[in-house]
Amino acid sequence: MSTVAGSGGAADQADQVAPTEAVAPPRAAAADADLDRVADLLRGREVAVLTGAGVSTDSGIPDYRGQGAPKRSPMSFQQFLAGESYRQRYWAGSHLGWRRFDAARPNDGHRALAALEEAGVVNGVVTQNVDGLHLRAGSRHVVDLHGTVDRVRCLQCGQIFARASISERIDAANPWLEQPDQVVINPDGDAEVVNSDDFVVPDCTVCGGILKPEVVFFGEFVPSEKFSEASALVRRADALMIVGSSLAVNSGIRLLEVARRRKVPIVIVNRGETKGDTKATVKLDAGTTETLTGLAARLVP
């Protein structure tokens, strides 16, 4: 494996040099060389892409594990089922977080992946994100490995609801609910709230059952059909690119192993270390948006 540094203090050092035509910022030159190298590795191959929370940070959705991310313990599926007070806390926070998700828009990194798919370079995107931004950016083959926050399912009868309709019901039943001054919005659409004791939890209008967003909670398994779809995409590809994921979740490591066993090139783009760095052909320590747009500029005719 080779490690390519795409961040650090080089740009700060360059700022101390008086700009002339003969002096280029060292970081920019290195980044271009790194992008050229990755583009050469992927050119002519069909590439499967796995994305994590780092892809959506430039859309205003914070990363769980990135630099500066607050330490937190998301609610587990077992807790969610354990009692009404847990569901009050979850839904109150999730409703506030949904506002952020609903307002988020795809960034240039999302659009670059859509362009790479349109050009036939990318065969599809497997995402650990639940924000739906890849589809909104124009990607057509998207496997939502951990679900999608814009749908809600009844755990009793299986009825599916649009999240927007549930949000309207929450607003009507909880007119007192306002976003507190200090709210931490998290990548699963959850948020920390001051008091949820009076929160009215929506129930299923068909059977009265418990409603849950169509996302994989901590303590839940990725649905087997979703993982099968994701692994099939990786098996059909000639290379795997992992973007914006620390690979702390087991499903991501399992997909990396599918590619490693097939002996295809593996490119990892992430700020900071990941659990797959030692197995990568190239690790690019860089931001996702600028890297994806740079690769699209080199690989899209």
The set of catalytic residues is 146
Indicate the residue type of 298: R
Name beta bridge partners: 69. Answer: none
Burial of residue 146, with CB atoms counted within 10 A of its CB: 0-12 exposed, 13-18 middle, 19 or more buried: buried
Neighbouring C-beta atoms of residue 91, cutoff 10 Å: 25
Contact residues for 171 (Cβ-Cβ < 8 A; gap 6+)? 177
DSSP label at residue 52: -
Contact residues for 46 (Cβ-Cβ < 8 A; gap 6+)? 120, 121, 122, 123, 236, 237, 238, 239
Indicate the residue type of 108: D
Name beta bridge partners: 203. Answer: 210
Contact residues for 173 (Cβ-Cβ < 8 A; gap 6+)? 200, 202
Contact (CB, 8 A) for 220 and 138: no
Q: What is the dihedral of CA 280, 270, 273, 64, to 10 degrees?
A: -130
Q: Give the residue carrying structure tokens 């009076």.
A: 198
In this structure, what token pair is assigned to residue 42? 């992927």
What SS3 class is residue 143? strand
Name beta bridge partners: 127. Answer: 51, 144
User: What is the Cα–Cα distance from 91 to 95, expressed in whole angstroms?
Assistant: 6
